[in-house]
Amino acid sequence: MITLKTSGFEEQYKKLRALVRASGVTMQDVANETMRIALQNAMKLTYPKTGNQGRARVQTDVRKLIVPYNSVTATPLDSGWTLIQWQPGNDATAYQVPPELMAAGGSVSSLRSYHERFRNKRGRVTGAPKLNKDRVHAKASMLRQYIAGRKKRVGRLKKGWLPALQHFASAAGTSPKGVPPWVANNPAPAQGHYSGHISKYGRGAIEAHNDVPYMRDDQNDWIIKTATATAQKFLTKRARLMLLGTNGLVARFNSGRRLAA
């Protein structure tokens, strides 16, 4: 789980409070908009960068564990084992696979169970057998079906930011931006939430939580640091516009227009 907190913006908030009051907006407005910006960047920075990158990783990880075969390459033996021969007639490419490794590839559910045994907390495959003869073998059509199903899950990490992003974007009077369709349409439930409250005067705190359990700690720190820095730049730019923009305080004061109380 990783968390974005408004406590990372305290220095900017201190500088903005006077400007915000005079501009006629509230610190609550600023906080919600800041969190929206930070969350959009957190989602952008969370692996994978693209759907194709994530789907390619799925393909690579599964193929580390499971070998596809067809009726040409696989021949059942009287011993119960199966002869696998990638080039028929060429014994140099042949090896035998025990029945348990063939049975483990007998259905999509058994492939899933075998795959899950080798996935670490980050969802990556570790400890895969080095040689094909020691790996589970599955019919090529079934393996394609299983991989296609896993690829539909790509984007789960990014989707963990979606509940908070939708909430704070709505609170800021806008809609989430930059959410790829392959993330929004991921069939897995979004594992994330938000908490806290900030008053219109800036009291309190708000937090956004990505609850997907296999986020890497070193990646988490980098995402939070980068997303926070981007949001801080947004706050600095917002303060400059409030003061010096075409409808900023200086322009309003010079034109004789009234400032907010």
Same domain flag for 162 and 247? yes
Low-confidence ranges of the chain (pLDDT < 70): 1-24, 215-219, 235, 238-261
Single-letter code of the amino acid located at 140: A
* Domain assignment present for 261: no
Burial of 92 (0-12, 13-18, 19+ CB in 10 A): exposed
* Domain assignment present for 237: yes
| Best CA proximity match to 107, nearest among 149, 75, 76, 78 | 149
pLDDT of residue 213: 82
Identify the residue whose tokens are 């790509």.
154
Single-letter code of the amino acid located at 204: G
Same domain flag for 77 and 120? yes
Instruction: Name, in order, each residue with C-beta under 8 angstroms of 43's C-beta and a sequence gap of 6 or more.
Output: 158, 161, 162, 165, 178, 179, 183
- How many residues in the chain? 261
pLDDT of residue 65: 94
d(CA 44, CA 248): 31
> What six digits make up the tokens of 206?
């708000």
Beta strands in 38-163, from DSSP E residues, in sequence order: 66-69, 74-76, 82-85, 94-97, 136-139
Identify the residue whose tokens are 């693209």.
50
pLDDT of residue 217: 60
* Domain assignment present for 28: yes
d(CA 235, CA 212): 28
> What six digits make up the tokens of 168?
């704070």
- What is the total count of domains within the chain? 2
Same domain flag for 65 and 40? no
> What six digits make up the tokens of 102?
């063939």
Same domain flag for 63 and 144? yes
pLDDT of residue 258: 47
Identify the residue whose tokens are 């906080």.
31
Same domain flag for 66 and 127? yes
Same domain flag for 127 and 187? no
Which one of 96, 116, 151 terminates a domain? Answer: 151
Which one of 106, 128, 151 terminates a domain? Answer: 151
Structural domain that includes position 184: 2-48+156-255
